[in-house]
Structure 1
């Protein structure tokens, strides 16, 4: 943890997630690595821990390994927003209306899965269905939202609805947008508390979770796999890789298909209740319509604003200051009256995107995987963990609509997104063109 200094930072501003104030991932404890386990899961985030719960309930011996503290990665760093997958509809339509409908319908199952797990395991993570509003940057984009809503309704029922500019102050206290789209089913939660609750629930079922156990190599062997962990070896009959944007070179098949992208957030200091009532009257999850996405929400207690978007600077000096400055500038475009509000936290995490903008789960040379949530991973990662665990158990119960999707890479891509700066520039130019 480092202090952040500057004219718009609070005196105690830090470069760690706001979520960690209440639920910092526990430091890796010195735990003996077992020589073998029936199932090994690499990655103790939403995917890996949900898989562990399903497998353990079926009587499997499960060991979960993580290079850092369990939940240290994107699972305790994201914006805590989850909901039905209406945004995937257009992408899924490439496979036809039946597949698009099946994929969106499964997103409702994913959301319900999180609700069920939270209730069953009594996880105190501030889960609340509050809805979502996406603001249109121009009248043309508002009209485009309406046309897209019509396309969805030609294929399946949809409870989303347009909010005209004249009524948008009931959704968000800004004049920036020209109306927008409201989606009632979206929810918010405290992601660090959620992942910590998953880990505790898994431990109660006998799952061994070992932090500080970086897997450096995987080798096939008779009857399963051998995993190298800091000069030690653990063998497993079944193996699940659930590392998403942090996979790297561990599994070359995924390295060529997952695009690691950093996303960052800032948190404001506490705001008066009347200000929050004006800026976020319904306490919804919020976003703008730009291709270079910004997303924001109230803190679970409704006293702060958390604002997220792309990382401007990845390496070098003053990374936190540069990225926080960039995010604050975007926040002030939405809420100019926050000019004098201090920033108390800056942090970033690494997400996993795919070339087809859809998540994937499956099996490659006997190794199971689930990944590629494209920045919307709480519900889908949780659900994919459960579904891939069912597949590992040999269950034929309701296979996932995602299971048969082709998972393609691109020529010359080997895990380092050299094209990302050009892609961001292209999307920013299109955003400016849309807003002309």
Structure 2
């Protein structure tokens, strides 16, 4: 088993973007963070004629954008429909959820118009219900989404679930037909090439160490020198720190991990995923899993395992969850094990707008592949003062988290509580 080896790197080891030849003294917009959000924002700003510089602390592709599971879909809210209605009312809830569909539609159109090949495929997602109560909640929520948003959705009873997944563990589940997957590192590479072609200056391995306001804009001190920007975009999401405090103080960094299996026999792959779907499950700390684009391996991921644990500890935790669903993989080894960070917010919603004198987009709560590309476009339109820049998230307060220094410790304690609750539910299920 490889130590901290990312499966997606096998196909795209190097993004292939060299640093721009020289750091200019001034730029119109400086973007801090070279992931999906940063690159998407850069593409639209550069095409509008703005001088854009993108600063990435490491190589392009060292953050979550090239390490995630590559799961795509409408990315509905973590609170669920009833939780949203209780907080915001039905009208606002519909607007927030519709943005998820808008983001997916935009993402699909953008890939097609730009001719970006990143193994994008909407094969649908089966979300298994761990308990009968979960099944009933999922059915009610799915019906509500179908009736109010037109979401293509079907419930699958336990008696028929073998047509969707090679497992008898779940009590049935739902199929979300507008979900699917991409190769996340290939997607980032394609976005980076688009940004570079549009004229954006890319500076990998060039962390912004300090920012200071002056009459001309914002002075950014970087490893390559100093630059003054009229506007600054902070797109660091879960990789924010005190140097990008506007984002850092508003999100909680959550440690997650994933594994890839060794190559599996074609007949076993067909048994596990008869229709090539991606998968999720109910629960507070749930596992996501999917076949790789070439249909030769499976990837499993989630918040299983001790945060900050080594690769072996992570693999053991994921294996336990995997065998709960697929006991037929008992003798299958892992070829890759890796971890990364996702950003959660206090209200479980992503945010976009201007805070503390800089532009922000992030806090995707683990569902950011389509949303980040969409938010990048919307953020660029806001900066440019263009029409159709608004989103339903614009008026959601993005307040700093109280007691921020203790937020990640609190998240770890809460995770342990969720794990205990999930285990209790599994022990008592019928």
Q: What is the distance in 1 between the residues matched to 2:308 and 2:76?
A: 34
Aligned to 1:3: none
Of the structure 1 ranges 423-432 and 188-197, higher mean CA displacement relative to structure 2 is found in 423-432
State the Cα distance separating 1:117 from its structure 2 match.
Answer: 2.3
8 Å Cα contact 2:146-2:153 kept in structure 1: no
Classify the secondary structure of the residue corresponding to 1:129.
Answer: coil
Aligned to 2:32: 42
8 Å Cα contact 2:98-2:149 kept in structure 1: no
Aligned to 2:346: 355
Aligned to 2:179: 186
Report matched runs for 1:13-32 at 5 Å: 13-26=2-15, 29=18, 31-32=21-22
Correspondence for 2:84 among 84, 92, 98:
92
State the Cα distance separating 1:415 from its structure 2 match.
Answer: 6.9
- Give the unaligned 5+ runs of structure 2: none
Aligned to 1:305: 298
State the Cα distance separating 1:389 from its structure 2 match.
Answer: 0.7
Aligned to 2:250: 257
Question: Closer, same or farther in 2 for the Cα pair 1:149/1:193, shift >3 Å?
Answer: same
Q: What is the distance in 1 between the residues matched to 2:59 and 2:279?
A: 30
Query: Is 1:201 equivalent to 2:190 in the alignment?
Result: no
Classify the secondary structure of the residue corresponding to 2:340.
Answer: strand
Classify the secondary structure of the residue corresponding to 2:369.
Answer: helix
8 Å Cα contact 1:76-1:192 kept in structure 2: yes
Q: What is the distance in 2 between the residues matched to 1:398 and 1:211?
A: 29
Residues 116-148 of structure 1: CA deviation (Å, up to 9, x unaligned): 222222222100111011101111111121222
Aligned to 1:79: 69
Q: What is the distance in 1 between the residues matched to 2:358 and 2:401?
A: 22
State the Cα distance separating 1:207 from its structure 2 match.
Answer: 1.0
Aligned to 1:341: 332
8 Å Cα contact 1:28-1:212 kept in structure 2: no
Correspondence for 2:238 among 245, 262, 265:
245
State the Cα distance separating 1:346 from its structure 2 match.
Answer: 0.5
Q: What is the distance in 2 between the residues matched to 1:410 and 1:87?
A: 19
Equivalent residue pairs, number: 423
Q: What is the distance in 2 between the residues matched to 1:92 and 1:52?
A: 32
Correspondence for 2:402 among 396, 402, 411:
411
Residues 204-237 of structure 1: CA deviation (Å, up to 9, x unaligned): 1111111001111111111311111127211111
Correspondence for 1:402 among 385, 390, 393:
393
Of the structure 1 ranges 26-35 and 109-118, higher mean CA displacement relative to structure 2 is found in 26-35
Q: What is the distance in 1 between the residues matched to 2:107 and 2:4?
A: 29
State the Cα distance separating 1:26 from its structure 2 match.
Answer: 3.9
Residues 343-402 of structure 1: CA deviation (Å, up to 9, x unaligned): 100011111111111000110233101010000010001111111111000113251111
Question: Closer, same or farther in 2 for the Cα pair 1:156/1:206, shift >3 Å?
Answer: closer
Q: What is the distance in 1 between the residues matched to 2:293 and 2:409?
A: 37
Aligned to 1:6: none
State the Cα distance separating 1:182 from its structure 2 match.
Answer: 0.9
Q: What is the distance in 1 between the residues matched to 2:337 and 2:380?
A: 35
Q: What is the distance in 1 between the residues matched to 2:155 and 2:138?
A: 8
State the Cα distance separating 1:159 from its structure 2 match.
Answer: 2.0
8 Å Cα contact 2:3-2:336 kept in structure 1: yes
Q: What is the distance in 2 between the residues matched to 1:323 and 1:421?
A: 15
Q: What is the distance in 2 between the residues matched to 1:394 and 1:198?
A: 23
Correspondence for 2:273 among 269, 280, 284:
280
Classify the secondary structure of the residue corresponding to 1:275.
Answer: helix
- Give the unaligned 5+ runs of structure 1: 1-8
